[in-house]
Amino acid sequence: MYITWTDVFTILRKIADITLVWLIFYFILKNIKNNVKLSLIFKGLIFIIILKVISEWAKFITVGYLLDYIIQWGPVALIVIFQPEIRTILEQLGRNQLLGRHKVLTVDERERMVYELVNAIDYLRKERIGALIVIERDVSLGNYIDKAKKLYADLSSDLLIAIFYEGNPLHDGGVIIQGDRITCAGAVFPTSSSPKLNRRLGTRHRAALGLAEETDAICIVVSEETGRVSIALKGEMLYNLTLDDVRMMLIDELKPKQDIEYDEDEDVNEEEIYEEDK
């Protein structure tokens, strides 16, 4: 039996077809994972499918009849009810960086970045100056950057403190950091409507959690009233963190996704630098 060029072309076409489908599913699932609301919708759909299979197997007529109606009209209901969430995932698919973070920071750059952030946070919390600092990761924040005041400045604690100083017209908004540079200030983010959020918390905390529910960004909040530091991450808000908590979280979350092995000397030097900041 001879294999012709037509057969080879057919095989390659099928491989490309399957690969494309898997890529589509990969990007959809990746964005669902980064969005708390969409992940809940996805879990609900999985539950309905499992319930449908069980009802068919057990021959539950009434349940099967109701599920048929849900499956028939469910897509229309989802589009109407969850229009904002569907629009969010489509926007994220459009502005996602296919190769991940636009800049993978080196060890020295991460050390300097965490050092400057911790110094700024320490001053802000002591002086009771409210602040919202957002660090972009895989999901692009370009949509919020476009509407904010562009800076494109090197990250420094002095600049962060100056931005959030009460007399600065940009102090009410958020700062977005890309890589190790401050991209913009005065950014406005969607506020969370989560019932788990303490009602006494202000707009900064709600904006931080709202952004953390839709993206994978690290959102650092300094309370203007109490000086307490919180971090919103992966759809959750972590309250009343110490400087050591903030430092360790930043070190861990800013690491590149791929496993990078460092020699023991580099690990020791990194720990010594953070100890000096205490």
Is position 183 within any domain?
yes
Task: Looking at the structure, tell me whether residues 29 and 89 fall in a common domain.
Answer: yes
Task: Looking at the structure, tell me whether residues 264 and 156 fall in a common domain.
Answer: yes
Nearest to 250 by CA among 120, 150, 152, 159: 120
183 to 62, 89, 256, 259: CA distances (angstroms): 57, 23, 20, 28
Which of residues 67, 95, 123 is at a domain's end? 95
Q: Which helix (H) or strand (E) holds 21?
A: helix 5-34
Task: Looking at the structure, tell me whether residues 165 and 220 fall in a common domain.
Answer: yes
Tell me which residue has tokens 């920071």.
105
Task: Looking at the structure, tell me whether residues 84 and 128 fall in a common domain.
Answer: no
Is position 100 within any domain?
no
Q: What residue numbers bound the domain in which 52 lies?
A: 5-95
Task: Looking at the structure, tell me whether residues 236 and 125 fall in a common domain.
Answer: yes
Residue 231's pLDDT is what? 95
Which pair of tokens denotes residue 265?
A: 């000397």
Give the CATH number for residue 115.
3.40.1700.10
Confidence check: pLDDT of 123 > 60: yes
Residue 193's pLDDT is what? 80
Is position 91 within any domain?
yes
List, in order, residues 6 or more apart from 253 with CB less than 8 Å away: 137, 218, 233
Is position 101 within any domain?
no
Task: Looking at the structure, tell me whether residues 114 and 233 fall in a common domain.
Answer: yes
Confidence check: pLDDT of 177 > 90: yes
Which of residues 95, 116, 144 is at a domain's end? 95
Residue 93's pLDDT is what? 56
3-state helix vs strand vs coil in the chain, percent to 5:
55, 15, 30
Confidence check: pLDDT of 267 > 60: no
Q: Burial, 107: exposed, middle or buried (Cβ in 10 Å; 0-12, 13-18, 19+)?
A: middle
d(C-alpha 118, C-alpha 9), whole Å: 57
CB 128 within 8 A of CB 225: yes
Q: How many domains does the chain have?
A: 2
Strand duo 181-187 + 229-233: pairing: unpaired
Task: Looking at the structure, tell me whether residues 89 and 46 fall in a common domain.
Answer: yes
d(C-alpha 100, C-alpha 13), whole Å: 28
Task: Looking at the structure, tell me whether residues 126 and 198 fall in a common domain.
Answer: yes
pLDDT in tens, 58-83: 888 888 888 888 877 777 777 776 66
Task: Looking at the structure, tell me whether residues 83 and 111 fall in a common domain.
Answer: no
Q: What is the mean pLDDT of the chain?
A: 80
Is position 82 within any domain?
yes
Q: Burial, 92: exposed, middle or buried (Cβ in 10 Å; 0-12, 13-18, 19+)?
A: buried
What SS3 state is found at 169? coil
Is position 191 within any domain?
yes
Question: Model pTM greater than 0.75?
Answer: no
d(C-alpha 123, C-alpha 112), whole Å: 17
Task: Looking at the structure, tell me whether residues 87 and 118 fall in a common domain.
Answer: no
CB 226 within 8 A of CB 126: no
What DSSP string runs through 141-163?
Answer: -HHHHHTSEEEEEE--HHHHHHH
List, in order, residues 6 or more apart from 128 with CB less than 8 Å away: 223, 224, 225, 226, 227
Confidence check: pLDDT of 271 > 50: no
148 band by pLDDT with thresholds 50, 70 and 90: very high
Task: Looking at the structure, tell me whether residues 68 and 126 fall in a common domain.
Answer: no
What SS3 state is found at 43? helix
Confidence check: pLDDT of 11 > 50: yes
Confidence check: pLDDT of 127 > 50: yes
Confidence check: pLDDT of 264 > 80: no
Which of residues 51, 75, 95 is at a domain's end? 95
Is position 49 within any domain?
yes
Task: Looking at the structure, tell me whether residues 254 and 205 fall in a common domain.
Answer: yes
Residues in the chain: 278
Confidence check: pLDDT of 117 > 60: yes
Is position 246 within any domain?
yes
